[in-house]
Structure 1
C-alpha cells in the first residue's frame, strides 16, 4: 500500500479541481459493486471512486487500470495511470505500460482500416443490410476505441439503412449510449423520443420500457427534475429485463435512485402508493432494503430515523456516477420535508426538541430553520427569548374575505363584459360572418350571440305580421 503522504497530495490536487472528496469508508464492497456492471461504465465508475474515495482510492485506480487494459481505449488507461502515479507512486501499476499502448494503438488503426474497407465494399455492392451492419460494426469499434464523435457519426449514418422497427430501436440505443457517455442529457430525451416511434406492438413496448424509463430517469435526474425522474425509475418494470441495461445502471441503482428521488419530491400518500404499494418496484427494493426502510420510516412519521439511515449511506451515494452532483440537493429536500412534516401537528415546539430530533450532537438547528423560514419552506417564527419555534397561523376570516372580494371582482368584470356586449349588439356594431363555409367555427358562437339573433328574427317576424 502507498503511504499517506502521496494520497494526501493526490486529494489536494483533486480538491483544487473542484472534485468531491469522500473521507468516510463506504458500505459498498468494491468487487461486488463493480460486478453489477458491464461495458464502459465499469471504468467510469472505478475512476470516479478512485478520484473521490480516500479509503478506496488505490484499489479503485488499480481496478480501473485493469479494466482499461481489457478494452481498446488508450486514453482511458492514460487517465487512470495519471492518477495512480500520484496517489501510489511505488505501486507496480504506476509504471506506464508503453508496450501495451503501442500494441493497442497499432491494433486499433488496423481494425479501423479493415472495417472502413469492408464498409466501402458494401457501399459499392449497394446491399442495404450489409451497409447497416458495416456501419454498426464500425461505430461499435470506434466507441470501444474512445472516438465517440466518429462513433456517433457512424450510428447516425445507420438511420437511413434501418428497414425494420428493431433496426430503428438499435440505432437509438447506440446513440443514447454515446450521449450518456458525453453527458449530453437533452440529446438523451430526444433519442428516446425517436426510439418510441409508431408501429410498435404492446409486447415490444413492454420489452423496451425498462431501457426507456431508465435513461429518461437519468436524464431528468441530471436536469434537476427530481419528481419526473422519480416517476420514471418507479415505472422501470421487470427487474429481470432491467438486467440487460447494466451497461448504464444496475437494478440496485434503480432502487436507490427511485427511492431517494421519491423521498425528495413526493408526499406521504404518493410514497405509500407509488413506492411501498408498487408491486413491480417492490422487487427492486428487495435489493436495497435500507431504501425501503427509510421510506417506511418517513411514511410512519419517524423522520429522524429516516434521516439517520440515509446519512449512514451518504458516502455510497457520493461515489455514484449519477448521484454524486445531486446528493446535497436531494438530502436537503428530504431533510426539509422531514422538518416540515414533524412541525405540522404543533402550534409551537421548543428548539431543544428540534435539535434533539434533527441536529447533530452539540450543534443547533436555528440557522437552518431561519433559512427555511426565509425561503418560504417553513411557515413559522422563532421566539429567541423562550427558544420556541412558533407556527404562523393563517387567519381564516381574512382568507375567506379575500376570496369573497376576488369573487366579487370577477363577477363585476364579467357583468361589465356582458353589458358591453349587449350595447354592441344594440348598436348593430357586430361583425357577422356567413354561415356557409365556416365549418366547425360556428360551433363556438356564444350564448349571447344566439340570443341576439333569435331576438332580431322575432322582431322581424312581428314587423311583417303587422
Structure 2
C-alpha cells in the first residue's frame, strides 16, 4: 500500500506539472516491445514509459536499471534509480549500487584520459586520418558514457580532418544519431541535406537512403509537418529492416507513416500512395491494425477506422516520438473523416452522424461547432431539428461577381492598350540606341544623351496619370 501511495503521489505531481499520464495499459508487452531496439534508445524509451504510465512504471525502471548496468552511463543509471526510489522506496532494487557507480566512474575517467592522450599525440604528428579517428573514438566513448554534448562536439571536430566523402557521411550519421536523442532536429535536417548532396555509390546509397528518410521523417514529425513526414516515411525503402534499431524499427515506420498519412492525405491518395505503395506495403504487413485502419478510412468506414486507432492510442501516447503529436493527429484524422462524410449530403441528421462516428450527439455537436468556427466545415447546425445542413451558395450572386471581375480585368487591359497606342502616336516611345552598348553606357556615365530618355519617361508617366 505504501508503494502504491508513493506511486500515486509521484504521478499526481507529474499531472500538476503538465506531464501526460496514461492510466491504462498499452496493448504491447513491454519486454517484447523493448527487445526490438538496441543501444541507448532502449533505456530512453523505458524511462519515458516509466514516467508516463503508472502500471508500467516499476517494471520499466527495473528493466532500464538492468540494461544500464551493462553500460558505462552512470548519469542515466542514477536518474533511473532516483525515479525508482520516489515511486517505490521500499523496493530492494532501488538501493544505490555505490560499488558499481564507483567502479564504472573510475573506468570512464581512465578511458577518457587515455583517449585524450592518444588524440594529443595524433595532433602532434599532424596526421589527419589519425586525428579524425581520435576524435571519433573520443566521441564514441563520451556517447557510451552518457555525455551527449561532449560526443556531439567530438563528432563535429571530425569535419576538419575528413579527407573523403565517406568520412563526412560517417561523421554526419554519428551526429544525426546524437541529435535525434537530444531532440535537436534542426541539426539533424542540416546533416541529412549534407549527406544527400554528396556523391555516393549504389551500394552506399542503398544502405543510407532508408536511414536518411527516417531521420528526415522524424524531423518533420517533430515540427508538426505531418504531410512532409508522411512523404518521408512512405519513401523509406523496405531494406531498412533492423539496420537502424538504435533509433527506430520497421514497425515504427509503419505506425508513424500511417498516422501522418491519415491526418494529411485525401482518401484517393491513401489508396494510391499508401495501400498500393509496393515498398510501404512491406512495413504495413508488420502492423496489420494500421493497414486495416487506413483501408477502413479509404472505404469511408470512419467509425471502424477510429475504433482501431482508439484501441491503440495508449501505445501512441507512450511512444517517445509520437506522444507529443498523438492527440493532434487523432483530431486531424477525425475532423477529416467528418468533412469527407458530409461532402455527399446537403443535410444530415446529427443522430445518424453520431452513429457513424461512434459517439453521442452532444459530443458530436460540440465538435462540429469547433470545426465550423475554425472554418474546417462549411455548414450550419439546426439545433431545433437536430440537423447539419450545408451552406447554400447563391449561384446568381456568384455568377454576377465572376462576371464583374472579368469585366474589370478587360477594362484594365483595354486602357493599357489604348495608352500604349497614344504614347506611340505622340512619339513618346523610348527607342533603343543603335550605338554599341559600351558607347551607350559610357555616354550615360558621363551624363551624355541621358536627358531625352529621362524627359520622355517623365512625359509618359504624366500622360499615363492624366489618362487613367
The TM-score with structure 1 as length reference comes to 0.90
**What SS does structure 1 have at the residue aligned with 2:367?**
helix
**What SS does structure 1 have at the residue aligned with 2:388?**
strand
Task: Write the mapping of 1:102-117 to structure 2, written as runs, cut at 5 A.
Answer: 102-117=102-117
1:330-350 CA-partner distances (Å, limit 9, x unpaired): 000000011111111111111
- 1:38 aligned partner: 38
Question: Does the 8 Å CA contact 1:6/1:87 hold for their aligned counterparts?
Answer: yes
- 1:67 aligned partner: 67
- Distance (Å, rounded) in 2 between the aligned partners of 1:259 and 1:98: 46
**What SS does structure 1 have at the residue aligned with 2:400?**
helix
Deviation at 1:203, TM superposition (A): 4.2
- 2:58 aligned partner: 58
- Distance (Å, rounded) in 2 between the aligned partners of 1:288 and 1:243: 15
> Is 2:225 the partner of 1:225?
yes
The TM-score with structure 2 as length reference comes to 0.89
Deviation at 1:359, TM superposition (A): 4.7
Question: Does the 8 Å CA contact 2:351/2:361 hold for their aligned counterparts?
Answer: no
- 2:377 aligned partner: 378
> Is 2:19 the partner of 1:4?
no
Deviation at 1:265, TM superposition (A): 0.2
Distance 1:201-1:396 versus aligned 2 partners, 3 A rule: farther
Distance 1:426-1:153 versus aligned 2 partners, 3 A rule: farther
Deviation at 1:114, TM superposition (A): 0.5
Task: Write the mapping of 1:270-281 to structure 2, written as runs, cut at 5 A.
Answer: 270-281=269-280
- 1:414 aligned partner: 413
Deviation at 1:361, TM superposition (A): 5.5
1:341-380 CA-partner distances (Å, limit 9, x unpaired): 1111111111111222225358531111111111111111
Distance 1:429-1:190 versus aligned 2 partners, 3 A rule: farther
Q: Which consecutive residues of structure 2, in runs of 5 or more, have no partner in the other structure?
A: 439-468
1:59-87 CA-partner distances (Å, limit 9, x unpaired): 11111112222222211112111211111
Task: Write the mapping of 1:60-459 to structure 2, written as runs, cut at 5 A.
Answer: 60-238=60-238, 240-360=239-359, 364-434=363-433
- Distance (Å, rounded) in 1 between the aligned partners of 2:310 and 2:374: 24
Distance 1:205-1:414 versus aligned 2 partners, 3 A rule: farther
- Distance (Å, rounded) in 1 between the aligned partners of 2:423 and 2:150: 67
Question: Does the 8 Å CA contact 1:211/1:242 hold for their aligned counterparts?
Answer: no
Question: Does the 8 Å CA contact 2:115/2:138 hold for their aligned counterparts?
Answer: yes
- 2:455 aligned partner: none
- Distance (Å, rounded) in 2 between the aligned partners of 1:295 and 1:336: 15
Distance 1:418-1:186 versus aligned 2 partners, 3 A rule: farther
Deviation at 1:434, TM superposition (A): 4.9
Deviation at 1:432, TM superposition (A): 4.5
Count of residue correspondences: 437
Distance 1:415-1:69 versus aligned 2 partners, 3 A rule: farther
Question: Does the 8 Å CA contact 2:303/2:358 hold for their aligned counterparts?
Answer: no
1:183-224 CA-partner distances (Å, limit 9, x unpaired): 111111111111122322344333311111101000000101
Q: Which consecutive residues of structure 1, in runs of 5 or more, have no partner in the other structure?
A: 439-466
Distance 1:414-1:56 versus aligned 2 partners, 3 A rule: same
Deviation at 1:415, TM superposition (A): 2.5
**What SS does structure 2 have at the residue aligned with 1:59?**
helix
- Distance (Å, rounded) in 1 between the aligned partners of 2:113 and 2:140: 14
**What SS does structure 2 have at the residue aligned with 1:390?**
strand
- Distance (Å, rounded) in 1 between the aligned partners of 2:105 and 2:160: 31
- Distance (Å, rounded) in 2 between the aligned partners of 1:93 and 1:414: 83
Deviation at 1:24, TM superposition (A): 1.2
1:272-328 CA-partner distances (Å, limit 9, x unpaired): 011000000000001100000000000011001000000000000000000000011
- Distance (Å, rounded) in 2 between the aligned partners of 1:336 and 1:103: 56
- Distance (Å, rounded) in 1 between the aligned partners of 2:45 and 2:352: 41
- Distance (Å, rounded) in 1 between the aligned partners of 2:207 and 2:415: 58
1:128-166 CA-partner distances (Å, limit 9, x unpaired): 211111111101111112222221121111112112221
Distance 1:386-1:198 versus aligned 2 partners, 3 A rule: same
**What SS does structure 2 have at the residue aligned with 1:96?**
coil
- Distance (Å, rounded) in 2 between the aligned partners of 1:210 and 1:170: 15
Distance 1:434-1:301 versus aligned 2 partners, 3 A rule: same
- Distance (Å, rounded) in 2 between the aligned partners of 1:223 and 1:66: 34
- Distance (Å, rounded) in 2 between the aligned partners of 1:68 and 1:97: 12
Distance 1:206-1:423 versus aligned 2 partners, 3 A rule: farther
